[in-house]
Chain A
Amino acid sequence: MRNSALDPRWHGRLALGLLLAPALLWLGALIILPHVDLAVLSFRERIGPRQYTASLAQYKTFFAEPLYWHVFLRTAAMSVIATFLTLALAFPIAWIIAKLARGRAGSLLFIICLIPFWVSETVRTLGWMILLRESGVLPAMLVKLGLTAMPVELLYRDATILVGLVYTSLLFMVVPLVSSLESLDNSLIEAAYDLGAGGFAILRRIVIPHAAPGITAGCIVVFMLTLGNYLTPTLLGGKNSQWFTEQIYTQFITRFNWEQGAAFGFLLLGLSTALVMMGLRISGQRFGDVMRRT
């Protein structure tokens, strides 16, 4: 013990090395190397049993086969729509929590809003299936109210997938919105009002610029989670879901075509990264700050 303490510099290096090892092992063996491997996989083609050659064939297939890129674009578009719907739905609630509710009521409401998200997505999706399927609660209610003659199937529609995605994402929007709205000084709003600004002008020129970091953070996280979601689209959309993660699963697990699956994975990762970068560029945010906010 005394010996190693003699040279404090050596001691410090040892400590640093011991702290660095788990981090490097984690990031190296579970994040960086697997992704390099995935890239290598996606750029090769099988030409015989256990024989491969470098090629762009997997990416060519993606563009040549309309089904693949249709599903890809559809997933992207639906994710963008889901993100904006989540923002529209979460903003008033965040406003109520941060600005309207007084004292303990605000924190209580906030906790109430968080509760459903402690339960796993599987359970929440089960709830939506019981509510929406043809023999489910809502179709039965519609019949009882006389709005429809027969129970209608509410599952397996695009709108259903959106409802499920928005529901799953709400928490990740509400949390950053509340924290960015709470830091907004009320006297700024009062000043704008005294100077004659209407509600819309206050929202556009004071509230939104101030909350922009929170809005960006929420949108980025929600978009990524939606894009990468598998459970909600496949269960609520059934065969009509056509979600891109499903294609990846099919290639990887069902067809055992890992090269194609890897290429699909990279395309999804590329899309996700590109839109995140775009979001950051538009709002002038830094990645680290955004992630720490959520």
Chain B
Amino acid sequence: MIPSLPRPLWLRGATAAYLIAFLAFLFLPLAVVAVFAFNNAPYPAPPWHGFTLDWFLGNAAQGRIGLFADSELLGSIWTSCIVAVGVTALSALVGMTNAFLIERGQFRGKQVLSILMLAPLVIPGVILGISILAFASRIADFADDSFGLELDFLRPGLPLVVLGQFSYIATIATLTISARLRRFDRTLEEAALNLGASKAAVFRTILLPYLRPALLGSAAISFLMSFADFNTTLMLVGADTPLTVMMYGRMREGATPVLNAVSLFLMLGSAVLALTLLRRSRSPRMKSAR
């Protein structure tokens, strides 16, 4: 019950106990990942054998391949970065045009279109993946059969991974940016136009600075979601493996603590990104969430 009403002692105790148990549940998995990155043993499992940095710094000569010597793993991080940059750029661009379309545009079928834009969020990622895979292959086969064209970018590989992730991350960017655009005070724009500013100048000096927090926020979210995506990526991946798929493969085989080491960096990276975003707590996503 709420603080202004009498709460019996057992209820207060139970609430506190629940809170502690819940937080333990939340952070225990992350804590063990971090701790076992430093365990001096070939597998991330107890007992504790002492502190080591082998899983970061070790190389083949020492018999333990640490993160910085694991070229396969480092390569997959790089692949993930390339994909994430592509997805972020595309989503920010399309998210912005969509926001203006939905908030400012007047045309028939707008209602239908804005509902359709939400659809990618309700389609399971695996299905987004297979449908794009099948469709892209059909086009590539058609081009090959009819014109003898080899459209390699439509075969499983990074371009398809980017398109697959973009297909649903664009919705999130659209929602974030249009939420901010909706709250824009249009009199500012009108004043600028009255004072003789061109439309381009209004966009550059008034709208763009106003939308900046939403653009940065949606870019950060897009980047993180792309980096973490597994379902869609798994279906579209070719020879270059992004980090999540690489980690998945190794986890099935029972990997060394080098995975813990890379996970620790992922955690630090997302923590830094999350904190900077929350600092500038003007981020509309967080605001609407509260």
CB within 8 Å for A34 and B131 given contacts A126-B259, A135-B45, A167-B29: yes
Complex: A252 Cα to B131 Cα, angstroms = 11
B82 contacts the other chain (CB 8 A):
no
A127 & B126 in contact (Cβ 8 Å cutoff) = no
CB within 8 Å for A228 and B131 given contacts A23-B94, A27-B116, A122-B247: no
A118 & B98 in contact (Cβ 8 Å cutoff) = no
Across the two chains, which residue of chain A brings its CB closest to B227?
A120
Shortest distance in angstroms between A132's beta carbon and chain B's nearest beta carbon?
Answer: 9
- Residues 158-178 of chain B, each 1 if its beta carbon lies under 8 Å from chain A, else 0: 000001101100100001000
Shortest distance in angstroms between B165's beta carbon and chain A's nearest beta carbon?
Answer: 10
A96 & B19 in contact (Cβ 8 Å cutoff) = yes
B235 & A167 in contact (Cβ 8 Å cutoff) = no
B271 contacts the other chain (CB 8 A):
yes
A285 contacts the other chain (CB 8 A):
no
B15 contacts the other chain (CB 8 A):
yes
Of B47, B121, B266, B278, the residue contacting A140 (CB under 8 A) is B47
Complex: A182 Cα to B290 Cα, angstroms = 8
Complex: A129 Cα to B44 Cα, angstroms = 10
B289 contacts the other chain (CB 8 A):
yes
Interface residues on B, range: 35 or more
Which residues of B in the span 262-290 have a Cβ within 8 Å of any Cβ on A?
A: 263, 266-267, 270-271, 273-274, 278, 288-290
A123 & B134 in contact (Cβ 8 Å cutoff) = no
A130 & B247 in contact (Cβ 8 Å cutoff) = no
Q: Which residues of A contact B32 (CB under 8 A)?
A: 127, 130-131, 137
B157 contacts the other chain (CB 8 A):
no
CB within 8 Å for A133 and B127 given contacts A20-B107, A37-B134: no
A196 contacts the other chain (CB 8 A):
no
Of A22, A135, A140, A273, the residue contacting B93 (CB under 8 A) is A22
B231 & A245 in contact (Cβ 8 Å cutoff) = yes
B218 contacts the other chain (CB 8 A):
no
Q: Which residues of A contact B18 (CB under 8 A)?
A: 92-93, 96
Complex: A124 Cα to B29 Cα, angstroms = 6
Of B1, B115, B167, the residue contacting A199 (CB under 8 A) is B1
Which residues of B in the span 1-28 have a Cβ within 8 Å of any Cβ on A?
A: 1-5, 15, 18-19, 22-23, 25-28
CB within 8 Å for A34 and B33 given contacts A129-B251, A189-B2, A230-B230: no
Complex: A125 Cα to B250 Cα, angstroms = 13
Q: Which residues of B contact A99 (CB under 8 A)?
A: 2-3
A249 contacts the other chain (CB 8 A):
yes
Across the two chains, which residue of chain B brings its CB closest to A129?
B251
CB within 8 Å for A126 and B4 given contacts A19-B100, A110-B290: no
Q: Which residues of A contact B19 (CB under 8 A)?
A: 93, 96
Complex: A107 Cα to B278 Cα, angstroms = 11
Stretch at the interface among A51-59, A60-68, A264-272: A264-272
Q: Which residues of A contact B113 (CB under 8 A)?
A: 23, 27
Which residues of A in the span 197-250 have a Cβ within 8 Å of any Cβ on B?
A: 199, 202, 224, 227-231, 234-235, 245, 248-249
Q: Which residues of A contact B97 (CB under 8 A)?
A: 18-19, 22-23
Q: Which residues of B contact A20 (CB under 8 A)?
A: 101, 105, 107
5 smallest CB-CB distances across A and B, nearest first, come from: A228-B124, A127-B29, A120-B228, A34-B131, A34-B135
Chain A interface (Cβ < 8 Å from any Cβ of B)? 16, 18-20, 22-23, 26-27, 30-31, 33-35, 37-38, 41, 89, 92-93, 96, 99-100, 102, 107, 110-116, 118-131, 133, 135-137, 140, 167, 170, 175, 178-179, 182, 186, 189-190, 193, 199, 202, 224, 227-231, 234-235, 245, 248-249, 252-253, 258, 261-262, 265, 268-269, 272-273, 276, 287-288, 291-292
16 contacting pairs across A/B (C-beta < 8 A): A23-B117, A31-B123, A38-B134, A38-B135, A96-B18, A100-B3, A118-B273, A122-B247, A122-B263, A123-B30, A126-B33, A131-B29, A133-B45, A189-B1, A228-B127, A249-B235
Known pairs A19-B105, A248-B127 / 11 extra A-B pairs, C-beta < 8 Å: A16-B105, A22-B94, A31-B116, A116-B30, A127-B28, A131-B28, A131-B29, A137-B32, A228-B124, A230-B234, A245-B231
